[in-house]
């Protein structure tokens, strides 16, 4: 992480944006005091595709049945 004063950031904005896009974090300062942070945008989450596993998995008929006592004790710590 590097700190850049506002005056220098104005002069080198394109380079600083490229560094941030590459994953670096840049702190912008005014008179040596940090005031803002330049960071890369988070990646857009991929769109979910409904039905993508259709025909590839099978949910058992008893999927919603209550858990056996032994398994329930493991979850509840009893």
Is 12 within 8 Å of 30 (Cβ atoms)? Answer: no
Let me know if residue 23 belongs to a domain.
Answer: yes
Let me know if residue 18 belongs to a domain.
Answer: yes
Q: Which residues contact 14 (CB under 8 A, 6 or more apart)?
A: none
Task: Give the chain's domain count.
Answer: 1
The span from the CA of 35 to the CA of 29, in Å, is 5
The span from the CA of 58 to the CA of 27, in Å, is 51
The span from the CA of 54 to the CA of 50, in Å, is 9
Its domain, for residue 27, covers 2-38
pLDDT on residue 78: 66
CATH number at residue 8: 3.40.1620.10
Let me know if residue 67 belongs to a domain.
Answer: no
Question: Could you report the average pLDDT of every consecutive run of 10 residues in the chain (78 residues)?
Answer: 94 95 95 95 87 91 92 86
């Amino acid at each position: 992480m590097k700190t850049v004063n506002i005056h220098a950031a104005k002069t080198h904005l394109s380079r600083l944006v490229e560094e941030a896009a590459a994953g670096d974090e840049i702190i912008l300062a005014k008179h040596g005091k940090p005031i803002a942070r330049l960071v890369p945008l988070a990646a857009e989450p991929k769109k979910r595709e409904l039905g993508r596993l259709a025909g590839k998995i099978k949910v058992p008929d008893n999927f919603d049945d209550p858990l056996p006592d032994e398994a329930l004790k493991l979850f509840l710590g009893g």
